[in-house]
Amino acid sequence: MNAWKEGFLNGLRPQEKLTVDEWSDKYRKLSSRGASEPGAFRCSRTPYIIEPLKELSTDSPTQRVVLMFAAQTGKTEAMNNWIGYCIDYAPGPMLIIQPSLAMAQRLSKQRLEPMLQDTPRLAEKIPPARSRDSGNSQYAKVFPGGFLAIGGSNSASSLRSMPARYIGLDEISAYVGDVDGEGDPVALAEKRASTFTKRKIFLTSTPTIKNSCRIEAEYEESDQRKYFCPCPKCGFYQVLMFEQLRFDSKKLDKVEYECISCKERFDETAKTTMLRKGEWRATKPENAGITAGFWLNGLASPLGWLSWFEICDEFLKAKENPALMRTWVNTRKAETFSYEFQAKLNAEALMDTRSDYLPGTIPEPVVCLCLGVDVQGGMGSATSRIEVSCWGYAPDPSGLAEQMYLIDHNIIYGDPNQGEVWTGLDVLLNAQYDHPNGAKMKINGCAVDSGGLATQSVYDYCMRRRNKGVIAIKGSSRSGGPIIGKGSRVDINYSGRVRKKSGIVYLLNTEDIKDRIFSKVKGTGKIFFHAQTTEEYFKELTGEYRTQKTNSKGYPVSTYEKKPNQAVEKLDCCVYAYSAYSLLTKTAPKGQFFDICSKNLLKSVGSDKNNLKDAKVNTSAKRNYVNSW
Ligand SMILES: [Zn+2]
């Protein structure tokens, strides 16, 4: 039978009534290529997906369906099922938008194409992409009664191409802020459907940063449905929450859930039944209207996908690292991440956190000292100067990361392209501090900013003092990479004579260093300030905050921004000193840095003969890191 004739006959036959979930269970097939669980698709595997799919069905009056879901909960499959349903059961023009064209291409190839080929009802309607003139390309698929266009939020042409009855907007929190100067991509895309009375808009995403997250804003305007499951012990219906998981954070061996009602504990095997008996309840029924909103965290991920154990394990690994924590909060808890603690960091409150030790004195735990040098002005500027912070580092009792102690901060006025400021820095560099154990402490490392107007002077200064652990650094806002890079060779101009590649400059990942510093400042007992630290100092130290911005390619990125009219030299010094410390730790065997520092300190006291043997063992390690500068 030819397609035309079949279509004609189908038109005469009364169509069976199907919702998206029913269509998926009846017709959708998963092949072993694309799916981890091949065979017939079963919505019962993820029972919470059934209600959103019913809302996407043609009979539901709901026009907009919002999913704010954790990763690995099946939201991509929900989108696929809806696409399949629209192609096969309720054809019409359809537009699917991904954050970028590259992601649109990936979705088409890796997710859609397998579904279209493996589901016979769809394969009949869309010829394979490889046949020429099939109306089937990566970005467009034609089928009887409609077509499917796939685009990226970064391309205005994808968004204003044509009217569409169905609009699927995937991972909207990762969309660009403004597309080619034409406005918000979600609004642009939704406009395509305005002429259709029976339109459907499907918006999905894991959340991102608090207050700049699209899916959160959409969900908050909806009726805010949450998935309630009955306790296997007492039957009380509750939303599964991470906060109710019980586990030993020192030694993760088993994870249990504690019912909020009967306080009984049960393990994850209860989940399958709980999910099956679960139900969506609107927590903001007063918002009920054309938008149905659904929120689900990773605890509901079915057995065999993402386990409670994995969620806890990831949490423990992310605890000390704000970048990892952000991902964990977004993809597991399905919550927006807040850098709120920074907003709360105000100079006045920090004044109360000062310790009793005096500037220039060394608290007992400190075993390593580093200088961070910020270079201001040059070229005849009247405010030319260098600012120098001395920071002490100590092991943290938790064994994770380190403690930091502000020892002192000095300002040396003068042109950094002239000699005097550097003579001044030499004095600070060669200073000796008295450690409470009787040792004389020296500066272990020093990082000098080469990013200003005195680059050559900085290179020159640093190269001549390499053996004292002095390095030239340059800030960079790329995040994700190492805290301090490997160091690249640069030319140095020694009073008119250029020596090719005779210097080294280290690129810093300042974003991640600031994350580390600020995560300490929020009052964790990991950063300490001497008794005379001024409010002005604290103002500068907290003079930047994390925010979401659109980068040059149009992508929203989280980055640090200065508070208006706020100097931040003290923060820069803190970042630079941390980079010097970081480079030192790299050259010691893993986990042994502070031990080596402590033993070297003891050795310099010379009073404890019993420790001399131990200290000797480590002299080669010490030599190792001194040489590497
Ligand atoms: Zn219970």
Per residue in 488-497, pLDDT (tens digit) is 888 887 777 7
Residues with a beta carbon under 5 angstroms from ion ligand 1: 231, 233-234, 236, 259, 261-262
Q: How far is the CA of 72 from the centre of ligand 1 (A)?
A: 26
**Does 591 have pLDDT greater than 60?**
yes
Distance (Å) from CA 219 to ligand 1 centroid: 29
What pLDDT digit, counting tens, does each position of 167-181 carry?
999 999 888 777 777
- pLDDT reading at 48 higher than 70: yes
- Asked whether the beta carbons of 47 and 278 are under 8 A apart, the reply is yes
492-527: pLDDT as tens digits:
877 777 888 878 999 999 988 998 898 788 656 789
238 CA → ligand 1 middle, Å: 9
pLDDT for residue 613 is more than 50: no
C-alpha 293 – ligand 1 centre gap (Å): 27
Q: Check residues 582 and 341 and name the one with the higher pLDDT.
A: 582
The CA 472 to ligand 1 mean position distance, Å, reads 60
Contact in structure between 554 and 154 (CB atoms under 8 Å) = yes
Ligand 1 geometric centre to CA of 153 (Å): 45
Q: Residue 323: what pLDDT?
A: 72
Q: How far apart are CA 352 and CA 615, in angstroms?
A: 39
244 CA → ligand 1 middle, Å: 12
pLDDT classification of 534: cutoffs 50, 70, 90: very high
| CA of residue 280 to ligand 1 center, whole Å | 19
Whether 80 shows a pLDDT value over 50: the answer reads yes
Question: 169, 136 in Cβ contact below 8 A?
Answer: no
Q: What are 167's two structure tokens?
A: 């609009």
Residue 386 — very low, low, confident or very high, per pLDDT cuts 50/70/90? Answer: very high
pLDDT band at 133 (very low <50, low <70, confident <90, very high): low
DSSP string, 93-139: EEEEEESSHHHHHHHIIIIIHHHHHHSHHHHTTS--TTSTTSSB-SS
Cα separations in angstroms, 178 against 108, 213, 530:
24, 14, 46
**Centre of ligand 1 from the C-alpha of residue 263, in Å:** 6
Mean pLDDT score, 15-42: 85
> What is the whole-number distance in angstroms between the Cα of residue 59 and the centre of ligand 1?
37
**Residue predicted with more confidence, 135 or 555:** 135
**Residue 267 Cα to ligand 1 middle (Å):** 13
Q: Would you state the pLDDT for residue 557?
A: 63
Task: Classify residue 172 by its DSSP letter.
Answer: G
Distance 262 CA to ligand 1 centre (A): 4
Report the pLDDT value the prediction gives residue 318, as an integer from 0 to 100.
84
- Tell me the pLDDT band of 552, cut-offs 50, 70 and 90: low
Q: Is the pLDDT of residue 44 over 60?
A: yes
DSSP 66-99: EEEE-TTSSHHHHHHHHHHHHHHTS--EEEEEES
Percent of the chain at pLDDT above 70?
87
Cβ pair 570, 537 in contact under 8 A: yes
pLDDT over 90 at 378, yes or no: no
* Mean predicted confidence (pLDDT) in 341-349: 64
CA 231 / ligand 1 centre spacing (Å)? 5
How many CB atoms lie under 10 A from the CB of residue 243? 7
Query: What CA–CA distance (Å, rounded) separates 17 from 85?
Result: 12
Has residue 235 got a pLDDT over 90?
yes
Distance, CA of 373 to CA of 427 (rounded, Å)? 13
Query: What pLDDT was estimated at residue 330?
Result: 94
Mean pLDDT value of segment 131-135: 62
Nearest to 230 by CA among 274, 263, 270, 264: 274
Task: Identify the band that residue 132 occupies on the pLDDT scale cut at 50, 70 and 90.
Answer: low
Residues 6+ apart with CB under 8 A from 377: 383, 384, 385, 415, 416, 452, 453
How many Å apart are CA 412 and CA 422, to the nearest integer?
Answer: 9
Q: What is the pLDDT of residue 618?
A: 36
Please state the pTM of the whole predicted model: 0.61
> Over 70: is that where the pLDDT of 253 sits?
yes
Please classify residue 496 by burial: count the beta carbons closer than 10 Å to its beta carbon, then call 0-12 exposed, 13-18 middle and 19+ buried: exposed
The amino acid sitting at 312 is C
Q: CA-to-CA distance for 373 and 387, rounded, in angstroms?
A: 6
> Is 70 exceeded by the pLDDT of residue 350?
yes
Query: Residue 7: its pLDDT value, please?
Result: 56
- d(CA 298, ligand 1 centre) in Å: 20
CA of 232 to the centre of ligand 1 (A): 7
Q: How far apart are CA 34 and CA 111, in angstroms?
A: 7
* Residue 529 or 16, more confident: 529
- To the nearest whole percent, how much of the chain has pLDDT over 90? 59
Residue 337 phi/psi, 5° resolution? -100, 140
Could you tell me the pLDDT band of residue 398, with boundaries at 50, 70 and 90? Answer: confident
Q: Work out the average pLDDT over 431-451.
A: 94
DSSP state of 44: G
Cα 264 to ligand 1 centroid, rounded to whole Å:
6
pLDDT for residue 90: 95
Q: Taking residues 127-144, what's their average pLDDT?
A: 77
Q: Give the long-range contacts of residues 309-315, CB within 8 A, separation 24 or more.
A: 309/252, 309/254, 309/255, 309/268, 311/242, 311/245, 312/245, 312/247, 312/252, 312/255, 313/252, 315/242
Cβ distance 299 to 268 under 8 Å? no
Tokens 């005779």 belong to: 502
Residue 184 predicted with pLDDT over 90 = no
**Mean pLDDT for the chain overall:** 86
pLDDT of residue 10: 58
Q: 3-class DSSP state for residue 432?
A: coil
pLDDT at residue 60 is higher than 50: yes
Band of pLDDT at residue 478, cut at 50, 70 and 90: low
What integer pLDDT is reported at residue 554 of this predicted model?
47
Task: Give the mean pLDDT of 273-298.
Answer: 96
Single out the residue of 83, 98, 100 nearest to residue 148, CA to CA: 83
pLDDT at position 53, please? 98
pLDDT at position 611: 39
Average pLDDT for 255-279: 95
Looking at residue 210, what is its pLDDT? 77
- Give mean pLDDT, residues 141-153: 93
The letter for the amino acid at 70 is A
CA of 237 to the centre of ligand 1 (A): 8
Query: What is the 242 CA–ligand 1 centroid distance (Å)?
Result: 16
| Ligand 1 centroid from CA 261, angstroms | 5
pLDDT in tens, 561-583: 888 788 999 999 999 999 999 99
Average pLDDT, integer, range 433-453: 93
Which of 407, 625, 421, 399 minimizes the C-alpha distance to 533? 407
